Amino acid sequence: MRYTNLPAPSPEHGLGRYLQEIKKFPMLEPEEEFTLAKRWVDNSDSQAAHKLVTSHLRLAAKIAMGYRGYGLPTSEIVSEANVGLMQAVKKFDPDKGFRLSTYAMWWIRASIQEYVLRSWSLVKMGTTSAQKKLFFNLRKAKNRIGALEEGDLRDDNVAKIAKDLNVTEKEVVSMNRRLSGGDASLNAHVVTDGEGAAEWQDWLEDETANQAANYEEKNELDNRRELLTEALTILNDREKDIILKRKLQEPPLTLEELSNLYDVSRERIRQIEFRAFEKLQIKMRELAVNKGMLIETNL
């Protein structure tokens, strides 16, 4: 499926111009969206797919703005969001009964997070699930309790966030210091063409008003466990044991410990872990799509 003549963010033209450009594409009514999706699914109608994508570019941009504080080019984050959106349109099944925007949120976030994880050296494959959760949820947690101060957090806010995200207070302090340097103010202005200046916060997704997003957050943990349990069956006993001990055990075993356990080199353990993790991710994503689950499948 190819998309031509799509607007794209670029450093040369500025993000403001791109945001103004995508506002020109109208939102779709449920009936029109369903008809377009059926045309794509049944007849591979590329024009219908193109319209589905362009009508949701604003959603992708809003979600992308929530990841602007990781020290990465915003235009690239938006581009990754659009890649996720296109994948969502490609695999969307309108007969499942939910809107494309609800389905696309998972693909958009997954695409952005994969890009962020690839780009940040502080979050590696061996990082625990709790640390990854902290990495992607610290800002939201700070906003929820009104911890908007610059620099280090107050002790009571550190304790609250650590409890809510199930990590140590030391991890909260460390991650906050790493991320604070690249954070941008929500009131920073984006220069737009012809309509004055808008603030970053004008483009942020209002998750409190999105019942589908609230439902997704509430049920994500149970859904992830269900998918993981089913996906683990594709691994052999050694692969499963290494994945469990490296990614799902607290604290995780080191490569050295596992190499001694299996009497092989650390590099061999790393290779097994990498391939098993890859197989697991693919299977979990496949299961999530087949079951219509709107979750992030990163362990």
Average pLDDT over residues 272-284: 86
Q: How far is CA 89 from CA 102, 113, 159, 235, in A?
A: 11, 19, 41, 30
Taking each helix axis from N to C end, the angle separating 100-119 and 74-91, rounded to the nearest 10 degrees, works out to 140
Q: Residue 295: what residue type?
A: I
In this structure, the number of other CB atoms found within 10 A of the CB of residue 64 comes to 27
**Inter-residue contact 85 to 57 (CB < 8 Å):** yes
131 band by pLDDT with thresholds 50, 70 and 90: low
Between 142 and 3, where is the model more confident?
Answer: 142
The CA-CA-CA angle for residues 39, 21, 87, to 5°, reads 40
Q: Which pLDDT score, from 0 to 100, does residue 292 have? A: 59
Q: Residue 115: what residue type?
A: Y
Asked if residue 124 has pLDDT above 70, the reply is no
Asked if residue 2 has pLDDT above 70, the reply is no
Q: Distance between CA 200 and CA 191 in Å, rounded?
A: 10
Average pLDDT over the chain, rounded to an integer: 76
Location of structure tokens 């808008």: 198
Between 98 and 248, where is the model more confident?
Answer: 98
Task: Using CB atoms within 10 Å of the CB of residue 196, give its burial: 0 to 12 exposed, 13 to 18 middle, 19+ buried.
Answer: exposed
Asked if residue 230 has pLDDT above 80, the reply is yes
Asked if residue 48 has pLDDT above 60, the reply is yes
212 band by pLDDT with thresholds 50, 70 and 90: very low
130 band by pLDDT with thresholds 50, 70 and 90: low
User: For a pLDDT cut of 90, what percent of the chain falls above it?
Assistant: 23
DSSP string, the chain: ----S-----TTT-HHHHHHHHTTSPPPPHHHHHHHHHHHHHH--HHHHHHHHHTTHHHHHHHHHTTTTSSS-HHHHHHHHHHHHHHHHHH--GGGSS-HHHHHHHHHHHHHHHHHHHH-TTS-TTS-HHHHHHHHHHHHHHHHTT---SSSPPHHHHHHHHHHHT--HHHHHHHHHHHHTT---TT-EEE-SSS-EEEGGGGS--GGG-HHHHHHHHHHHHHHHHHHHHHGGGS-HHHHHHHHHHHSSSSPPPHHHHHHHHTS-HHHHHHHHHHHHHHHHHHHHHHHHHHT-------
Asked if residue 213 has pLDDT above 60, the reply is no
Q: Residue 173: what residue type?
A: V
Backbone φ and ψ of 93, nearest 5°? -115, 105
pTM, two decimal places = 0.49
Backbone φ and ψ of 298, nearest 5°? -65, 135
Q: Where are the domains of the chain?
A: 15-119, 129-193, 210-288
Q: Distance between CA 289 and CA 92 in Å, rounded?
A: 9
Q: Which pLDDT score, from 0 to 100, does residue 296 have? A: 52
pLDDT tens string 54-104: 999 999 999 998 887 666 788 888 989 999 999 999 989 888 878 899 889
- Hey, what CATH class is 210-288 in? mainly alpha
Q: Under CATH, what is the fold of the domain 15-119? A: Four Helix Bundle (Hemerythrin (Met), subunit A) (1.20.120)
Q: Distance between CA 10 and CA 162 in Å, rounded?
A: 38
Asked if residue 111 has pLDDT above 90, the reply is no
Average pLDDT over residues 129-146: 73
Average pLDDT over residues 139-161: 77
3 band by pLDDT with thresholds 50, 70 and 90: low
1 band by pLDDT with thresholds 50, 70 and 90: low
- Least confident range of 14-28, 155-169, 212-226, 260-274: 212-226
Asked if residue 123 has pLDDT above 50, the reply is no
